[in-house]
């Protein structure tokens, strides 16, 4: 995500208890939406809405994983959020979202900067 989400959108998302719980859970370990529904004691539609909100704000990554037992695949979610910094000065409020960078993205950036 090249541009930060509006501060109001990010603040509203982080104000939501379910969103905070999801972020905490997927910070510890990537999880599927079904696992998050159980762990966060929230309905499946609520979990999917929050995951979409977090994806739109650039706070998570989705990965497709094979399910070898059932012969299918599923999506798991992991946060790429490292920290959110809010600074207040004479010019107003500024913020930035620091994200974890995947190894593949780091390598691509390195090659592009050469």
By CB atoms closer than 10 A (0-12, 13-18, 19+), residue 26 is buried
CB 75 within 8 A of CB 60: no
Q: What is the mean pLDDT of residues 59-66?
A: 88
Which two structure tokens, joined as six digits, stand for 88?
Answer: 């207040």
For residue 114, being part of any structural domain is answered with no
Domain annotation covers residue 101? no
Of these ranges, 56-65, 67-76, 96-105, the one predicted with the greatest mean pLDDT is 56-65
Name the band, by pLDDT with cuts 50, 70 and 90, for residue 106.
low
- The CATH number of the domain holding residue 33 is 1.10.10.10
pLDDT for 2-61, tens place per residue?
477 888 898 899 999 999 999 999 999 999 999 999 999 999 999 999 999 999 998 999
Whether 102 is in a domain gets the answer: no
Range of the structural domain that residue 34 is part of? 7-81
What confidence score (pLDDT) does residue 77 get?
95
Indicate whether 92 belongs to any domain.
Answer: no
64 assigned to some structural domain: yes
- Is the residue at 103 inside a domain? no
pLDDT at 1 over 50: no
Number of domains in the chain: 1
Average of per-residue pLDDT across 58-72? 84
Tell me the average pLDDT across 54-77.
86
Q: Under a CB-based contact definition with an 8 Å cutoff, are residues 79 and 26 in contact?
A: yes
8 A C-beta contact, residue 84 and residue 19 = no
The H or E element that residue 110 is part of is helix 103-113
User: Could you tell me if residue 89 is inside a domain?
Assistant: no
Residue 18 falls inside a structural domain: yes
How do 31-32 and 60-67 pair as beta strands?
unpaired
Angstrom distances, CA of residue 106 to CA of 26, 33, 57, 98, 111 = 21, 27, 20, 14, 9
């Amino acid at each position: 995500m090249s541009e930060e989400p509006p501060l109001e959108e990010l603040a509203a998302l982080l104000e939501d208890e379910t969103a905070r719980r999801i972020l905490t859970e997927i910070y510890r370990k990537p999880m599927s939406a079904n696992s998050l529904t159980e762990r966060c004691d929230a309905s499946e539609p609520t979990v999917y809405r929050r995951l979409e909100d977090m994806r739109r704000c650039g706070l998570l990554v989705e990965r497709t994983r094979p399910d070898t037992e059932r012969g299918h695949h599923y999506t798991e979610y992991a946060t790429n959020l490292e920290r959110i910094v809010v600074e207040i000065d004479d010019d107003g409020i500024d913020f930035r979202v620091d994200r974890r960078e995947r190894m593949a993205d780091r390598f691509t950036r390195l090659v592009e900067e050469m």
